[in-house]
Chain A
């Protein structure tokens, strides 16, 4: 028996059509502006496809959908051509806390995948409960969908979920960044992207979006290969400082070393010499040493250096030297950036202006993209 959990955030996506940057904390405002719910419709499209794919297979698939109560899934699930179980509850409340509670209950019931309709906020709520203990899969619904956990359309979400069920225990999974912007900041016109972690998602090279762009099949393999070559070409005499994110984690993985996902780590002579480092520790580590900074591109906003990694202060960056900054990113992630440039916001306008212009980004072994950097 394969069991999939379903959570629908019924207010997800409401903000977009009325010009809000999201619906987190401003549902009433969205309703006042005339926003209508879209999540239920999109979730239903996904479920129709899921049902059809499972039925059309004529495999005797033992499958059950465990849905959150009421508007959060149960209402939509009932009447489908497969076994349904609905969580208790359903007092009509649909807050972030309800999403988290439903995710916790689904995890407790040992579902094998959480299938959800929502945006980055919903993904983050669920991820913060289940972490990487359980794969998740997003039906694209929200206003912000910079996390790499969503399928490209509701129908494709249904197909990926069906493929997951049919593959059973052998379904391939991959890591996907969960990012979100600070919505209060965004409404004030500032864009700040934060990486919240790396969720597990079903791997599907065509139907899943890697951040916003369709990355094609290349990102995973190419990124892994370039991280391997970066790891292999490290000069044992230099200190390598690695920024946050899954990309730099791949580099260290090729050295057999762990990496703090959200923090800054350092390697010297093939050994980990510091994890989750602050500014002062970094300055001490690179004092008198030739150093290289390896950074990925975090989230859908193209944040390169700045708020997400403030430990990399202007002093640290100047000490390392701007010519010693190596940027690594998947091609799909780069091409999905809108607007198409990387952002720096180090807090030091002079440094920012030195960093702007064009910079090479390593996207595969022996392959760079020359990408615009803006402050």
Chain B
């Protein structure tokens, strides 16, 4: 095993740091001419709205703030180690884009600038649109949704507009999905006002066509589904599904969160889908960044394009403009037209890869997953979901540590906590609901070398051995991390949860000398 220990800085909270009077940044003085013209600026705020007590923010110098946050960055593992996080289609983030998005040609643009002054951005957005059209067969993409879930929501809203335009919305109030669809599909459909009809898996590893036929009706508004699912199982009847839903009068949305297994291998439109979504963070090389800024690129057919959120980038003559005059548009799901830096990443990644690279990335991710599967199933206590299905899985496979738990009491969460002691960040477990006990879902993708993947598997095998030989070591992990294991029992208790420092201070008062032992624990934490 590689020797590893996370940085431990015992970094205090920023609110506990500093000294009165220190400054991290100073601004210009108000110019005398300004003061002459307007008087005391503080008095320009209406009397009843002036702040009387300064906010209780820390007072720090610039180097202190820098070092504090650098310490925090070092106490974050991320992809400094090997992270095979499944269901996300994680990719390398080209640092070329990282360099470019910091330049003023991206960072210092205002979205309301005249189109003539945004020609570079608009051309890039259009170019990316064309690339995604080629990959999906769709006719138009928009980039306004701020993440994959937001694109799913956009789809639900577009579905509303489509059926409303036909006078059928009140009748078509059901969206059909599967138990393995990402939770954002039913969640966003429900948030948009739809009723959810869910299909469970059957013997083939995917829901049956018969179940779908029983589910659809004149109430069906749309199907929202991913393929392959998070177990790496591809529904080979998906084109028939689309026909069944279309025959019932519904729309079909392809959630391409799991794109690597089919990237460059098929097109959503060829299968009959009306719309699809790509996560440009993750799948197209923009950073996940712990949770955004992100982009859910949403594309659809020409028939639905008039409903797309506004504006869309249009090519006109030799130039580009933002088309805001779209009377049938659903309006907006977010202000402006997208997280442009992430679009620069996605464009950069796509151009660097090209058609052959994208195809090969898909090949490698499937190949590596099957390699992983072979090695992982050799580890005691590891089993595979749907073991009776023998066809090779696509870019990921879901496994279970149910046997390990039964044998040793060690859970997947314990294993996550121990693997980080070796510089391997947590694997993904499973979205709710868990269909196998103690699930985990690694995904190798194309960015990790075989040596990386071998190391990852070696660490898991080592931790499993520890679980059998010294379960206490695993259960009490981590031991080599920035902090020890979190005691999460108070997180759902209103008397103890605290999302801010001021809530924490109120709920955990500093103890009076000689107070009971319960408060001593809090005191340790508070100092």
Give yes or no for direct A-B contact (beta carbon below 8 Å).
yes
The answer to whether B433 and A358 touch across the interface, beta carbons within 8 angstroms, is no
Q: How far is the CA of A363 from the CA of B198 in the complex (A)?
A: 10
> Which of B197, B200, B210, B437: most chain A Cβ within 10 A?
B200
The residue that A214 contacts in the complex, of B186, B199, B433, with Cβ under 8 A, is B433
The answer to whether A332 and B433 touch across the interface, beta carbons within 8 angstroms, is yes
Q: Is A279 an interface residue (CB 8 A)?
A: no
Q: Is A112 an interface residue (CB 8 A)?
A: no
The answer to whether A368 and B433 touch across the interface, beta carbons within 8 angstroms, is no
The residue that A334 contacts in the complex, of B190, B200, B202, B210, with Cβ under 8 A, is B200
The answer to whether A357 and B406 touch across the interface, beta carbons within 8 angstroms, is no
The 5 closest A-B pairs by CB, nearest first: A155-B409, A358-B214, A366-B195, A370-B215, A367-B196
The answer to whether B409 and A370 touch across the interface, beta carbons within 8 angstroms, is no
Q: Is A153 an interface residue (CB 8 A)?
A: yes
Q: Which residues does chain B contribute within 8 Å of A334, judged by CB atoms?
A: 200
The answer to whether B215 and A358 touch across the interface, beta carbons within 8 angstroms, is yes
B65 to chain A, nearest CB (A): 38
The residue that B405 contacts in the complex, of A152, A335, A366, with Cβ under 8 A, is A152
Residue of B nearest to A209 (CB): B437
The answer to whether A369 and B214 touch across the interface, beta carbons within 8 angstroms, is no
The answer to whether B202 and A370 touch across the interface, beta carbons within 8 angstroms, is no
A89 to chain B, nearest CB (A): 30
Residues of A within 8 A of B (CB): 45, 49, 152-156, 213-216, 218, 331-332, 334-335, 340, 357-360, 363, 366-372
The answer to whether B198 and A369 touch across the interface, beta carbons within 8 angstroms, is yes
Q: How far is the CA of A186 from the CA of B199 in the complex (A)?
A: 30
Q: Is the interface of A mostly helix, strand, loop or mixed?
A: mixed
Q: How far is the CA of A231 from the CA of B490 in the complex (A)?
A: 35
The residue that B433 contacts in the complex, of A155, A215, A359, A367, with Cβ under 8 A, is A215
B18 to chain A, nearest CB (A): 35
Q: Restricting to B102-144, which residues have a CB under 8 Å from any CB of A?
A: none
The answer to whether A45 and B215 touch across the interface, beta carbons within 8 angstroms, is no
Q: Which residues does chain A contribute within 8 Å of B434, judged by CB atoms?
A: 213-214, 216
- 15 more A-B contacts (CB under 8 A) besides A340-B200, A363-B198, A367-B195? A153-B405, A153-B409, A153-B411, A155-B409, A214-B433, A216-B434, A366-B190, A366-B196, A368-B197, A368-B198, A369-B198, A370-B198, A370-B200, A370-B212, A372-B211
Residue of A nearest to B521 (CB): A58
Q: How far is the CA of A370 from the CA of B406 in the complex (A)?
A: 32
A355 to chain B, nearest CB (A): 13
Q: Which residues does chain B contribute within 8 Å of A45, judged by CB atoms?
A: 409
Contact mask for chain B residues 389-418; partner A; CB cutoff 8 A; 1 contact, 0 none:
000000000000000011001010000000
Q: Which residues does chain B contribute within 8 Å of A218, judged by CB atoms?
A: 432-433
From known contacts A358-B210, A370-B215, infer whether A49 and B409 are also in contact, taking CB-CB under 8 Å. Answer: yes
The answer to whether A370 and B405 touch across the interface, beta carbons within 8 angstroms, is no
B379 to chain A, nearest CB (A): 19
The residue that B409 contacts in the complex, of A154, A332, A368, A371, with Cβ under 8 A, is A154
Q: Is B457 an interface residue (CB 8 A)?
A: no
The answer to whether A372 and B202 touch across the interface, beta carbons within 8 angstroms, is yes
Q: Which residues does chain B contribute within 8 Å of A49, judged by CB atoms?
A: 409
Q: Is B435 an interface residue (CB 8 A)?
A: yes
Q: Is B179 an interface residue (CB 8 A)?
A: yes
The answer to whether B437 and A360 touch across the interface, beta carbons within 8 angstroms, is no
Q: Is B201 an interface residue (CB 8 A)?
A: yes
Q: How far is the CA of A363 from the CA of B199 in the complex (A)?
A: 12
The answer to whether A370 and B211 touch across the interface, beta carbons within 8 angstroms, is yes
B307 to chain A, nearest CB (A): 24
Residue of B nearest to A155 (CB): B409
The answer to whether B196 and A331 touch across the interface, beta carbons within 8 angstroms, is no
Q: How far is the CA of A360 from the CA of B196 in the complex (A)?
A: 11
Residue of A nearest to B407 (CB): A153
Q: Which residues does chain A contribute within 8 Å of B197, judged by CB atoms?
A: 360, 367-370
The answer to whether A335 and B215 touch across the interface, beta carbons within 8 angstroms, is no
Q: Which residues does chain B contribute within 8 Å of A359, judged by CB atoms?
A: 214
Q: Restricting to B221-274, which residues have a CB under 8 Å from any CB of A?
A: none
Could you list 7 A-B pairs, sorted by A, with CB under 8 Å?
A335-B435, A340-B201, A367-B195, A368-B196, A369-B179, A369-B199, A370-B200
Q: How far is the CA of A131 from the CA of B186 in the complex (A)?
A: 39
Q: Which residues does chain A contribute within 8 Å of B214, judged by CB atoms?
A: 357-359, 370
Residue of B nearest to A337 (CB): B200
From known contacts A45-B409, A366-B196, infer whether A216 and B432 are also in contact, taking CB-CB under 8 Å. Answer: yes
The residue that A340 contacts in the complex, of B202, B433, B437, with Cβ under 8 A, is B202
The answer to whether A367 and B198 touch across the interface, beta carbons within 8 angstroms, is yes
The answer to whether A370 and B199 touch across the interface, beta carbons within 8 angstroms, is yes
B525 to chain A, nearest CB (A): 16
Q: How far is the CA of A183 from the CA of B201 in the complex (A)?
A: 29
Residue of B nearest to A159 (CB): B409
Q: How far is the CA of A152 from the CA of B437 in the complex (A)?
A: 9
The answer to whether A153 and B406 touch across the interface, beta carbons within 8 angstroms, is yes
Q: How far is the CA of A214 from the CA of B196 in the complex (A)?
A: 21
B358 to chain A, nearest CB (A): 36
Residue of B nearest to A335 (CB): B433
Residue of B nearest to A369 (CB): B198
A225 to chain B, nearest CB (A): 13
Q: How far is the CA of A75 from the CA of B212 in the complex (A)?
A: 55
The answer to whether B215 and A371 touch across the interface, beta carbons within 8 angstroms, is no
Q: Which residues does chain B contribute within 8 Å of A154, judged by CB atoms?
A: 409
Contact mask for chain B residues 190-210; partner A; CB cutoff 8 A; 1 contact, 0 none:
100001111111100000101
Contact mask for chain B residues 458-470; partner A; CB cutoff 8 A; 1 contact, 0 none:
0000000000000
A68 to chain B, nearest CB (A): 24
A60 to chain B, nearest CB (A): 9
From known contacts A357-B214, A358-B210, A368-B197, infer whether A213 and B202 are also in contact, taking CB-CB under 8 Å. Answer: no
